[in-house]
Chain A
Amino acid sequence: MSENCCAHAASAKVHDTAHAASNHAASNPETSGPTRWPDGQLLGLSGVGVAVRGKQILSGVGLSLYAGQIVTIVGPNGGGKTSLLRAVIGDLPLTSGIITRRPGLRIGYVPQKLAIDQTMPLTVSRFLAMSGASSRDTRLAMLERVGAGALAGRQMAALSGGELQRALLARALLRAPHLLLLDEPTQGLDQEGTVGFYRLLETLRREEGVGVLMVSHELHVVMAQSDHVLCLNGHVCCAGEPEAVAVHPEYRRLFGRGDDEVLAVYQHHHDHSHG
């Protein structure tokens, strides 16, 4: 019963935050009240349910994502985070609800893992070229941008986890996406790489208005970087602005240990406090 109650509270909040967040995206200001397809909105989920091999993974997930907004999905393993991203790209059928994308929406997707068979010879440069029309210079510049300039001639199957993540991100960005879907994009990255990655994300959303839907386990960064946090455990446990989520009972139950640290880091990064 408490879960239902919680999910309800969350879905109400989703819309509030989404509207609030779109303002600082320097896109069109939102009119109040729910409109069917608001300006600046990239993605809308409503009552989404997903089943994998007959097993219900997700139910009743609602979310609105706007240009320039970073929405982070947190939650325990098996909570349905990856399944939600796969549902958004259309790789998993919905058992209920609806997912709407802005017409013509270009998505850049960074999967959680990419098992490249040793039998396929594939250089990073060739892998990037496969994503669509792009010049050699553009591809090299993109590799530089994600901190992987030295990888161009390397074989994909021989990359380390962090290097593969960079290559995948470069490919996603080469599509000049409106929306980035990132599934644990910093796994395998070293400290420096992680910092660089979040800096890049910040630039992308501020300068190019890219919307980001990201799965992450790095709670402290999530809290500092996201406009909106969605805590998934088969359903939406809680959702809203990071500081609201961090003190939410459901969230505390799932991630109890790190609360103090989370809040400390959050406040460190912002000059205003939240009581």
Chain B
Amino acid sequence: MLELITADFMIRAALAGIGVAMIAGPLGCFVVWRRMAYFGDATAHSALLGVALGLSFDLPILFGTALVASALALVVAQLTRRSGFAADTMLGVMSHAALALGMVAISQLPGLRVDLMGYLFGDILAVSRQDVALIWAAAAILGSLLIWHWRALLTATLSEPLARAEGLSPERLRLGFMLALALAVALAMQVTGLLLVTALLILPAAAARALARTPEAMAMMAAGIGALSTVIGLVLAFLIDAPAGPMIVTSAFFAFLTTTLIGSLTARA
């Protein structure tokens, strides 16, 4: 059994999951702070359209999903500013429209039998060596960008007028963050599938909140909790023969329960 757990596909899955967690954790903190959970959902749902795009033009799936998710981020950012609708209404419209369109588009692809379940719930056990390399490269780039703009992004998250008074450009920061999020969603989709992508952003960040006293600590803990949940989830999925993506999210949920309990106990003491 130990041999199976250390089998190549398991190692690749763990590496892919940890790579995604490293970037999803810190980005997820900003999603939580900026109350953008719904935006994460919308970009994730739009990714199915990207899958259809990738398949029909014979492009890498990651490329297609990243492209469509980024386009959605730009459209939502523009529409929210110009239409009179509240941001959550606009996101609700785009999110479900994109999911429905994606499903229709995939059903129309000629001569292909597409594993829709794989895209909806993820297929982390099937990631290739190249996938792992790509995930780590993208995570490294996003991570560097995040560290580079950390202070500015944090200030703009606290208060856009305050950021502007200090000479920053909140719009550009917001746009950059949305694009980074779109790319992270495209990466994370391979691990959990598009229905559970937001969980990978939100759950580790929420779990870290109870223990952290500074934003930096929360971001690092979120990355750690995400990585730990990935490994535990993978092993458990193997042991009880459950799907890996949902098992990873379940592990993250238990991490959230645990830290929140610890947090409330230590706060009272």
Contact = CB atoms under 8 A, between A and B. Distances in A.
Interface of A: 86, 89-91, 107-109, 111, 114, 116-117, 119-123, 126-127, 130-132, 155, 175, 181
Given A117-B35, A121-B214, A121-B215, 20 more contacts: A86-B161, A90-B164, A111-B161, A116-B158, A119-B32, A119-B209, A120-B157, A120-B158, A120-B215, A121-B209, A121-B213, A121-B218, A122-B158, A122-B214, A126-B215, A127-B158, A130-B154, A130-B158, A131-B155, A131-B166
A163 B217 CA distance: 24
Nearest to A117: B33
- Chain B's interface: helix, strand, loop or mixed, by majority? helix
B36 to A, nearest CB: 11
Contacts of B157: 120
Interface string B155-172: 101111110111000000
Contacts of A114: 158-159, 162
Interface in B209-241: 209, 212-215, 217-218
B158 A109 contact: no
B268 interface: no
B113 interface: no
A109 B168 CA distance: 13
Interface residues of B, number: 23
A151 B260 CA distance: 25
Contacts of A119: 32-33, 206, 209
B161 A91 contact: yes
Contacts of B158: 114, 116, 120, 122, 127, 130
A131 B159 CA distance: 12
Contacts of A120: 33, 157-158, 215, 218
Contact of B213 (A91, A123, A131, A181): A123
Interface in B164-187: 164-166
Contacts of A90: 164
B163 to A, nearest CB: 9
Contacts of B164: 89-91
B165 A181 contact: yes
Contacts of A108: 165
A126 B35 CA distance: 21
11 contacts: A90-B164, A91-B161, A111-B159, A117-B32, A119-B209, A121-B212, A121-B217, A122-B214, A123-B214, A130-B151, A155-B213
B167 to A, nearest CB: 8
Contacts of B209: 119, 121
Contacts of A89: 161, 164-165
Contacts of A126: 214-215
Contacts of B166: 107, 109, 131-132, 175
Contacts of A132: 166
Contacts of B215: 120-122, 126
